[in-house]
Amino acid sequence: WRAAWSEAKKAWCCDHYHKGCPETPTEPPHHCFEGDKEHWSLGKRAFCCDSYRIGCRVGTSAPYDCAAGVTRWQEGWSISKKAWCCDHKNVGCAAQATSKPFDCEAGAGNWEAGWTDAKKSWCCTHSNIACKPAASYTPYDCDAGFDDWYTKWSKLQQIWCCDHRQRGCSITASLPYDCNAGLSNWQKGWSESKKQWCCSNAKKGC
């Protein structure tokens, strides 16, 4: 998969099936206490929000500047930036360096039921096949599982739904408790109200 899969396919399969993910680095993939949060990548925002509750609020601007570092995109861009820029700007696509990641002719007669979301997105963008009306196609369903979005949605889904549907926005200041703080000693260190809230809302301290 390392050589054969496109960056978009790796990112999608990692997010949905935990396959094709980059190997765990020896140090954190992002430094969450450095840099202007307004210019953080989508991947960095997701990591830092999940790990440190930093950078969770996302503005309405594009998550990536696809012109920045374009001359070194293959080695310099994150998987999520490659996928986003390829899908939205047709820049940084694996197909530009190697072969096409998907055969858009294969199974085209049954694309709605038979294709993955990644293949639909790629083939619509690059071959004008399997395109849904723009208003109806979204990478995430922001209504499904909304009652428990904090624990059920991936960080990328939270960011996308917050950006596009104003749902699932993680605003640390509005949460009554930080359920990661003191987690290693929650039984003795947390108040009863924090235990109840974190168990109900974050499935921690139960």
At 133-172, the pLDDT tens digits run 655 567 778 888 888 777 788 877 888 788 777 787 765 4
pLDDT tens sequence across 59-78: 446 677 787 777 777 778 88
pLDDT at position 60? 47
- To the question of pTM greater than 0.75 for the whole model, the response is no
Mean predicted confidence (pLDDT) in 35-43: 76
145-170 burial by CB neighbour count: b if 16+ within 10 A, else e?
Answer: eeeebeeebebbbbbbbbbeeebbbb
Q: Are the beta carbons of 110 and 85 closer than 8 angstroms?
A: no
